[in-house]
Amino acid sequence: MDPEPQQQLTVNQCIEQIAQKLASANLHYGHGAIDAQSEALWIISKQLNLNPIEALDHLEDTISEDQQQNASAVADTRISTRKPLAYILGEAWLMGVPFYCSEQSIVPRSWIAELIVNGSLEPWLTANGKALDLCAGNGSLAILLALSRPDIHVSACDISMPALAIAARNLDRHSLNSQVELLDGDLWDALPKPNEDNLFDLIICNPPYVNATSMAALPAEYQAEPKLALAGGDDGMDLIRRIITYAPDYLSERGAILIEIGNEYENFKKAFPQTPVIWMGASAGEEQVLLIQAEDLR
């Protein structure tokens, strides 16, 4: 007797099925999806060759048996490896924009992305100006900045050549090679010596800032990412000290530097008690991203 065919499910039913499987596995989230339901949507949308938002318009469509099986296999891999889903699928989404993703770089995510897209940084982005993404990783923030302001030139630098290789792929994907320049080096060492012709109106930076105690307690999903992209020393401020010390040399007169510090507010205040800071509100709260104007660094 032939086996009975697998029940034909709708997209929504398959999402629920995958979500239940993920939810029962004690996974950790935060790499582009906030919970099991979000990751299930992401898994199914990939099978449908849609972005996750588009998939929401197809919830009542039926999904093929092959797509069901492929989705279930992805969920099984997610559970067995505890790797971020972005690494398994080779793709991540940030503010609705797709990026190639691999274990060579941190998964694209940053509250700075919100500020780029919602226009909060416009006062520091002059027409035909220059911006820098310091610690650019896979290039996602530099790309969002370039897409939001086609009239500016963006430089993006990182110490990791493997991460820059992913950034180069993402520049190709979004046809931004003429607008975004990739530079290899350790923070400011990646740049030419500053002069009046190569100063930046805005520097954005999502540096390694996780303190040593928090690094030791990270779940497996975060341990799968390059330590180089996360670890910020005992108090999380090792790189940020170097960044703030030399930032004024690279900023235009009315420029500013924007830095993400995540949950390191108390450590930042201890390290920089006298530095005038503008806290830029994001969805995660009021104390995760800060802006310092050039005049307050000199």
Looking at the structure, do residues 38 and 108 belong to the same domain, yes or no?
Answer: no
123 part of a folded domain: yes
For residue 4, being part of any structural domain is answered with: no
> Are residues 38 and 152 both part of a single domain?
no
Task: Classify residue 1: in a domain, yes or no.
Answer: no
Q: Is the pLDDT of residue 93 over 80?
A: yes
- Quick one: pLDDT at residue 279? 96
- Structurally, how many domains does the chain consist of? 2
> Is 28 in the same domain as 131?
no
Same domain, 216 and 126: yes
When pLDDT is cut at 50, 70 and 90, the band that residue 298 belongs to is confident
Tell me which long-range contacts 213-218 makes (C-beta under 8 A, separation of at least 24). Answer: 214/263
User: Is it the case that residue 1 has pLDDT exceeding 90?
Assistant: no
Q: Among 28, 50, 83, which residue terminates a domain? A: 83
Is 210 found in the same domain as 67? Answer: no
Domain final residue, candidates 31, 59, 83 = 83
Last residue of a domain, one of 34, 54, 83: 83
Residue 260 has a pLDDT of: 97
Higher pLDDT, 5 or 192: 192
Task: Report residue 94 as tokens.
Answer: 């940030």
Segments forming the whole domain that contains residue 54: 9-83
Predicted confidence at residue 270, as pLDDT, reads 97
Mark whether 17 and 99 lie in a shared domain.
Answer: no
* Token pair recorded at residue 57: 């318009």
User: Are 127 and 247 in the same domain?
Assistant: yes
What is the CATH number for 181?
3.40.50.150
pLDDT value at residue 46: 95
- pTM here is 0.93
Is-contact 185 207, C-beta < 8 A?
A: no
In whole angstroms, give the CA distance from residue 133 to residue 149: 14
pLDDT, tens digit (0-9, with 9 covering 90-100), for 95-141: 999 999 999 999 999 999 999 999 999 999 989 999 999 999 999 99
Residue 6 has pLDDT above 60, yes or no: no
**3 assigned to some structural domain:** no
Q: Are 99 and 73 part of one and the same domain? A: no
Q: How many other β-carbons are positioned within 10 Å of the β-carbon of residue 4?
A: 6
**197: pLDDT confidence band, cut at 50, 70 and 90?**
confident
If asked whether residues 270 and 163 sit together in one domain, one would say yes
Say if CB 196 and CB 217 are below 8 A apart: no
Given a cut of 60, is residue 5 above it in pLDDT? Answer: no
Residues 223-242 pLDDT 10s? 999 999 999 999 999 999 99
Q: In the structure encoding, which two tokens stand for residue 34, read together? A: 């906030």
Write down the mean pLDDT value for the chain: 95
* 246 and 287 inside one domain: yes
**76 in a domain, yes or no?**
yes
* 71 falls within a domain: yes
Q: The domain spanning residue 68 has which CATH number?
A: 1.10.8
Answer yes or no: do 67 and 156 share one domain: no
pLDDT for 138-162, tens place per residue? Answer: 999 999 999 999 999 999 999 999 9
pLDDT-based confidence at residue 8 (cuts at 50, 70, 90): confident
User: Which pLDDT score, from 0 to 100, does residue 2 have?
Assistant: 52
CB crowding 146-174: b at 16 or more within 10 Å, else e: bbbbeebbbbbbbbbeebbebbbebbeeb
Identify whether residues 150 and 14 lie together within a single domain. no
